[in-house]
């Protein structure tokens, strides 16, 4: 039922399957040749895929809470994206074998050498790290499971009770998601440098995930819009709303990223500042400037124009650009920790992203194929279709 | 209904048609637009989404003004800080360079927003030629109802196609409640 349901996406699914398979084979070869590099590259690839699913879940819950035509238009891509969370949990497993090479706090020698790190031992230890990861995934999977279950029940029966249930779950769920995603970002990314800390980091990470999910949903909606029944919900005013939401996420990310920089720059403390010093020296500053230009300045300026937001083709092109730059954003968070002296990239960076991303996309298209194109009993559907333009 | 007006030398501001419903007004505005009139306006008690298109309210210059205002504000904010910190009164603060750009960004941002917002408000007022103590449309006898439950369409005599008799016939063909003269 999957391939036949969405013929527009069968090309994407085939491409994802081929690229994913090649990426997995290359990644396995790389894992055998250079395990340490494999885990470094794979962490970025995992964060990219996990971020898409968590971001989709977050934006989906926001749309359940607020309602509105924009939510109707991208609800199915968001639901399918959150539906890939079981695969994301599976993709987390290989990282467990790389904990000693990724996180220096797992080694007794680092612990013994540094008093600051030693004082964090109650939090930074492998058993508690694993327990927390299980809690995060349990929270996300349970929320995604119930939202998917009620959404299908709503499609089948049209009972207004389900919209109410989804809204109630989303209210508390967003709070839970905020906490779990914050601590997940502390565990998986921030602890790469066990001495460094930034309280804004969790929200910054979540903002990036929201931006990625929004861009992804807009791009997928463009592929789906060749179908008449789907295009009905993608009127210029709704595209304008979607573009504005993406613009809001661009601005949130830039605001938080700059706030973090400003606070640490102004404090200029020896525990905090090295994280930035690594990222503005040895050629890494090229990526830093590239992110300021292509993750903030350019998307911000092009998304100001109504003409760019109201034409789906242009909006989807902007979204695709953001999705590409997002990989550099995550690479910039992880890679300088392992090569502070000078900028390096490895073919495994591409191979692992292709492998994990290909698998993620394959399962995404499968999920999307099992759902009718627009939620037929969404309380906001009638309002969205009644819009004149 | 001035005794001085005649069909050949229009001394009116325009002709005002009164409608009972928003739908009638939108339909009338569309037909006025199709009828070749360009200088006309509609007056309603509440915003009507379709009307914007029906009277072909073209793009305004406000967004451009706001952009310029924002750029000017941002540049002047950064410029002021640069001038103070580097030229006029350089201070060594924590051993940082005089040109410490991260510290300049919040003020630059605030000045951008402030200038953009002020340009939006005052630019809108200026483009609407507000405040305007006198406007001829209020001479139409029942125009006060435009703030209650009636919908008005006024074709102005400045329109190239305006002809008091012909335009009156045209407006009456749109099915209004009544058509009245608007004294200048």
Cα–Cα distance measured from residue B20 to residue A39, given in angstroms and rounded to the nearest whole number: 72
The nearest alpha carbon in chain A to B66 belongs to A304
Strand extents, DSSP E, chain B: 14-19, 40-43, 151-156, 178-182
Those residues of chain A that have pLDDT short of 50 are 1-4
pLDDT of A385 reads 83
The nearest alpha carbon in chain A to B101 belongs to A262
Interface check for B92 against chain A (CB to CB < 8 A): the answer is: no
Interface check for B102 against chain A (CB to CB < 8 A): the answer is: yes
Interface check for B49 against chain A (CB to CB < 8 A): the answer is: yes
Cα–Cα distance measured from residue A39 to residue A21, given in angstroms and rounded to the nearest whole number: 18
Cα–Cα distance measured from residue A311 to residue B113, given in angstroms and rounded to the nearest whole number: 27
Min distance A262 CA to chain B CA atoms (Å): 6
Q: List the CATH code of the domain at B14-59+136-182.
A: 3.30.70
The nearest alpha carbon in chain A to B102 belongs to A262
In the three-class reduction of DSSP (H, G, I as helix; E, B as strand; rest coil), residue B165 is classed as: helix
Interface check for B62 against chain A (CB to CB < 8 A): the answer is: no
Omega before residue B131 within 30° of 0, cis: yes
The nearest alpha carbon in chain A to B64 belongs to A305
Min distance A273 CA to chain B CA atoms (Å): 14
Interface check for A266 against chain B (CB to CB < 8 A): the answer is: yes
The nearest alpha carbon in chain A to B93 belongs to A266
- Three-state SS across chain A? CHHHHCHHHHHHHHHHHHHHHHHHHHHHHHHHHCHHHHHHHHHHHHHHHHHHHHHHHHHHHHHHHHCCHHHHHHHHHHHHHHCCHHHHHHHHHHHHCCHHHHCHHHCHHHHHHCHHHHCCCCCCCHHHHHHHHHHHHHHHHHHHHHHHHHHHHHHHHCCHHHHHHHHHHHHHHHHHHHHHHHHHHHHHCHHHCCCCCCCCHHHHHHHHHHHHHHHHHHHHHHHHCCCHHHHCCCCHHHHHHHHHHHHHHHHHHHHHHHHHHHHHHHHCCCCCHHHHHHHHCCCCHHHHHHHHHHHHHHHHHHHHCHHHHHCHHHHHHHHHHHHHHHHHHHHHHHHHHCCCCCCCCCHHHHHHHHHHHHHHHHHHHHHHHCCCCCCCCCCCHHHHHHCCC
Q: What is the pLDDT of residues A177-188, one digit of tens each?
A: 999 999 999 999
Chain B hits for A265, Cβ within 8 Å: 102
Interface check for A301 against chain B (CB to CB < 8 A): the answer is: no
pLDDT of A389 reads 67
Interface check for A261 against chain B (CB to CB < 8 A): the answer is: yes
* Region class of A67: left (phi > 0), else alpha (psi between -120 and 50), else beta: left
DSSP 8-class letter at B12: S
pLDDT of B9 reads 54
Those residues of chain B that have pLDDT short of 70 are 1-10, 58
pLDDT of A259 reads 95
Cα–Cα distance measured from residue A291 to residue A301, given in angstroms and rounded to the nearest whole number: 14
Check B102 against A261: CB less than 8 A apart.
yes
Min distance B101 CA to chain A CA atoms (Å): 10
pTM score: 0.86
Check B103 against A268: CB less than 8 A apart.
no
User: Taking the domains of chain B in order of start, what are their residue ranges?
Assistant: 14-59+136-182, 62-127
Min distance B57 CA to chain A CA atoms (Å): 16
Check B102 against A388: CB less than 8 A apart.
no
């Amino acid at each position: 039922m999957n391939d036949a349901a969405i013929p527009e996406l069968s090309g994407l699914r085939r491409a994802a399957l081929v690229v994913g398979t090649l990426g997995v084979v290359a990644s396995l070869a790389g894992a055998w040749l250079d395990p340490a590099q494999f885990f470094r590259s794979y962490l970025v690839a995992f964060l990219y895929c996990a971020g898409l699913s968590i971001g989709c879940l977050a934006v989906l819950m926001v749309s359940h809470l607020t309602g509105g035509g924009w939510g109707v238009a991208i609800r199915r891509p968001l639901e399918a994206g959150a539906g890939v969370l079981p695969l994301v949990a599976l993709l987390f497993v290989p990282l467990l074998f790389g904990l000693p090479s990724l996180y220096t706090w797992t080694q007794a020698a680092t612990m013994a050498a540094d008093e600051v790190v030693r004082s964090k031992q109650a939090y930074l230890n492998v058993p508690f790290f694993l327990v927390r990861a299980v809690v995060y995934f349990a929270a996300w999977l349970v929320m995604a499971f119930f939202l998917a279950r009620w959404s299908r029940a709503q499609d089948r029966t049209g009972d207004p009770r389900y919209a109410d249930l989804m809204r109630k779950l989303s209210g508390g769920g967003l709070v839970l998601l905020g906490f779990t995603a914050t601590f997940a970002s502390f565990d998986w990314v921030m602890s790469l440098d066990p001495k460094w800390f930034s309280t804004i980091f969790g929200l910054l990470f979540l903002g990036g995930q929201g931006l990625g999910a929004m861009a992804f949903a807009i791009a997928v909606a463009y592929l789906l819009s060749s179908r008449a029944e789907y295009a009905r919900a993608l009127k210029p005013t709704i595209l304008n709303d979607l573009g504005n939401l993406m613009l809001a996420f661009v601005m949130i990310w830039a605001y938080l990223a700059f706030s973090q920089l400003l606070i640490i720059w102004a404090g200029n403390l020896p525990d905090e500042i090295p994280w930035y010093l690594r990222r503005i020296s040895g050629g890494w500053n090229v990526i830093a400037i590239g992110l300021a230009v292509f993750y903030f300045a350019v998307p911000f300026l092009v998304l100001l124009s109504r003409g760019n937001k109201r034409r789906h083709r242009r909006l989807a092109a902007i979204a695709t650009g953001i999705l590409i730059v997002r990989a550099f954003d995550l690479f910039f968070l992880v890679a300088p920790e392992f090569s502070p002296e000078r900028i390096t990239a490895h073919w495994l960076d591409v191979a692992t992203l292709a492998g994990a991303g290909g698998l993620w996309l394959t399962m995404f298209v499968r999920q999307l194929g099992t759902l009718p194109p627009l939620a037929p009993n969404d309380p906001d559907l009638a309002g969205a279709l009644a819009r004149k333009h | 209904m001035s005794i001085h007006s005649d069909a050949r030398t229009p001394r009116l501001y325009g002709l005002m048609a009164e409608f009972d419903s928003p739908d009638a007004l939108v339909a009338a505005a569309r037909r006025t637009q199709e009828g070749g009139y360009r200088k006309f306006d509609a007056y309603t008690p509440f915003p009507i989404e379709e009307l914007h298109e029906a009277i072909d309210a073209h793009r305004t210059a406000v967004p451009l003004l706001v952009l310029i205002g924002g750029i000017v504000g941002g540049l002047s904010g950064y410029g002021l800080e640069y001038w103070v910190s580097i030229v006029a009164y350089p201070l060594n603060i924590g051993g940082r360079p005089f040109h410490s750009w991260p510290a300049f960004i919040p003020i630059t941002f605030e000045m951008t927003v402030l200038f953009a917002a002020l340009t939006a408000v005052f630019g809108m007022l200026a483009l609407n030629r507000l405040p305007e103590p006198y406007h001829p449309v209020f001479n139409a006898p029942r125009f006060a109802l435009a703030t209650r439950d009636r919908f008005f369409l006024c074709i102005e005599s400045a329109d190239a196609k305006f002809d008091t008799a012909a335009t009156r016939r045209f407006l009456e063909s749109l099915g209004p409640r009544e058509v009245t003269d608007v004294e200048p």
